[in-house]
Amino acid sequence: KECFAEILSAAKENKKLLAVLVDPDKFDESKAAIFLSNLPEETTHIFIGGSTVAEGRTCEVVKRLKNLSKLPLILFPGDHSQISAHADSLLFLSLISGRNPEYLIEQQVRSVKKIKNTRLEIIPTGYILIDGGKKCTVHKVSNTFPLPQHEIENIVNTALAGQYSGKKLIYLEAGSGAEIPVSEEIIRAVKEALDIPLIVGGGIRSEQQLQKTYEAGADLVVIGTAFENGSFQN
């Protein structure tokens, strides 16, 4: 599957995309079919990943989901161990809001062995962590600080630096379970500056929030927690 080309053309046509995020560590495979049937019809992608996942677990979940769903499966790995050749695509993430070389280049170098002889589509992605109001796992695991929401110019410049360095997507992340999702003001400013598609996630729990995120300029929205525990408000 050519996920990037699809995301790009959807963004150009202003067709909004919705990804459900599956965390392999929390995923109950015996309930996979029910989980998939409960997803909103508008769901266009499945993202798979977590901050810390047991070795081999991602691959099992990818295979299971592949059997049950036709949606494109995109890896969203917390580290190099979460790469499975059975997925369609890989968000090749650099944590560009942070200054920790481990997540800017080290994990990427270590992942090459797992990637190079596969048919995984590699999508260079600039990953920007934004303060979501509580200490999130990405912050803890990556040992980097999220960008404060009021630093709009810095956030826009970080996203543009990502684009200029060749990232094909920018992902604004408030952290899984964020109390405060990325503000509409930030999304609007980043979208206006960027020429590449914009992904937004973290703390989106209702249809109303989802629509606001789209209206502000997100091309693809990621929802994990609210779908995982069935608490999404329609």
Interface residue list for ligand 1GP (CB under 6 A): 21, 173, 176-178, 201-204, 222-226
Is residue 203 marked as binding? yes
User: What is the distance, to the nearest Å, from the Cα of residue 93 to the centroid of all Cα atoms in its chain?
Assistant: 9
| Least Cβ distance, residue 116 to ligand 1GP (angstroms) | 26
- Of 13 and 28, nearer to ligand 1GP (C-beta) is 28
Among 195, 189, 186, 197, which Cα is nearest to 164's?
A: 195
- Of 72 and 224, nearer to ligand 1GP (C-beta) is 224
Q: How far apart are CA 213 and CA 201, in angstroms?
A: 9
End-to-end Cα spacing for the chain: 30
Radius of gyration in angstroms for the set of CA atoms belonging to the chain, rounded to a whole number: 16
Is residue 172 marked as binding? yes
| Least Cβ distance, residue 218 to ligand 1GP (angstroms) | 11
| Least Cβ distance, residue 177 to ligand 1GP (angstroms) | 5
- Which residues, including other chains, have CB under 8 Å from residue 97's CB and lie 6 or more apart? 127, 128, 129, 130, 144, 145, 146, 147, 158
Is residue 175 marked as binding? yes
Annotated binding site for sn-glycerol 1-phosphate: 171-177, 202-203, 224-225
Annotated binding site for Mg(2+): 23, 51
Annotated binding site: 23, 51, 171-177, 202-203, 224-225
